[in-house]
Chain A
């Protein structure tokens, strides 16, 4: 029997993991919700940002916080580039072609990263203490990543609900023609959305490089998980994705402690498959 204290530790670790997963899922879901395209290569953009932070810190001696801010800018630029170079030309094509195009980008990024930087695992070593609280050990790095992820999501929330541009981004997803009648350019709103989604990838990249080593296939580890969370929360449903991230993180974390780390992921994916049969529109979908 596992001691309750380990379970509690697993729950806390699950919450901390959930914060970063939610950030990833929100970025992907924002783009899907507004532009109606799934960026299959989203987490690979995150990996590029991780490389960016890594090289800025190790080669150019940037302090981590500054490299993290640069990563947000890099993410936004990558988001703009993906939209302008890949999405815009095929915006009117059938959805399957758009899916294939961003899928192609995934292979491009992975191969390109391998060619340039080899398959080495690279990490920025952050030596921060571990906090002990009544017998529970929490990584300070993870705690910081969690707090920053939550702050980034709060910032996104305020952007989408309080500003003219953010509200227009939500509006364009509901009626593209009507928002043009308000004087907003739909194309420009899509660009802003892509930049914001990319910036969220940049934040996630900066937070992930503190905890994980980056390699060309990093997207393979978090990509399917992120996509699964979005589907589970309901594609395009930001609130749903937020809660789905925490549910999945709990499954992974508790499953990891109760069985094994690998089994944690297996259980998470099995639950996903079952839920998708039961509730194809996501767990938070309103019944039609």
Chain B
């Protein structure tokens, strides 16, 4: 479904990603793990068009997307839940979800999508008239996820969904991500919470200083001594 070949990207003179290759098949959940500054966020930004890759190809369902602007890439079915959630803090919960359905194709199914999101995250229905900025961290992450679902994507990119959340909320959130997955969405998730994320994905890539160091099935990777010591903390 998604294929990256030789993607190099960065900001100004700084290169954050070197020659990265990665594939995600339809229905799969894939994680990209690695330490701070490994280029995980840059990778997602290069896929969703927030930055243009300097080199390499990004194809989604056979369409070349590298260099396309973000508003065009989301129309192809790639929703990006960015780092720090990036909600519209002054808009209400309902208005944030409405913005998720901005695309004409999504607008046609607006009410139907809204019902689905409210069923998946009932707390958002309770808070629909509240400003997004007034929600708790966990609720904000649910809203960010719900907003992405409103665009009726085929692939969801999740950037550090557990960031800044209380441990008990982290567990709940991963449970919700698993449920989103069961609804049939394909997921590419970037996480520092390696132990938790490896439990909900099929495969994972290990990214270090901008390069893919390792890739494999989640269970195998979790078992690797190297990964266990460095990231899982066992």
Contact = CB atoms under 8 A, between A and B. Distances in A.
B88 A178 contact: yes
B99 A171 contact: yes
A174 B103 contact: no
Interface of A: 164, 167-168, 170-171, 174-175, 177-185
Contacts of A174: 88-91
22 contacts: A164-B99, A167-B91, A167-B98, A170-B95, A171-B88, A171-B95, A174-B90, A177-B70, A178-B82, A178-B87, A178-B88, A180-B49, A180-B50, A181-B74, A181-B80, A181-B82, A182-B102, A182-B147, A182-B151, A183-B74, A184-B99, A185-B71
Contacts of B98: 164, 167
Interface in B21-80: 48-50, 69-71, 74-75, 79-80
B6 to A, nearest CB: 25
Given A164-B107, A181-B70, A181-B80, A171 B91 contact: yes
Interface of B: 48-50, 69-71, 74-75, 79-80, 82, 86-91, 95, 98-103, 106-107, 147, 151
A53 to B, nearest CB: 36
A180 B70 contact: yes
Given A164-B107, A167-B95, A168-B102, A181 B88 contact: no
A178 B102 CA distance: 12
Given A179-B102, A182-B151, A185-B69, 5 more contacts: A171-B88, A181-B82, A182-B147, A183-B74, A183-B102
A180 B71 contact: yes
A212 B101 CA distance: 46
A179 B99 contact: yes
B169 to A, nearest CB: 22
Nearest to A170: B91
B90 to A, nearest CB: 6
B204 to A, nearest CB: 24
Contacts of A182: 71, 74, 99-100, 102-103, 147, 151
A171 B91 CA distance: 7
Contacts of A179: 88, 99, 102
B2 to A, nearest CB: 16
A281 to B, nearest CB: 16
Contacts of B87: 175, 178
Nearest to B98: A167
Contacts of A183: 71, 74-75, 102-103, 106, 151
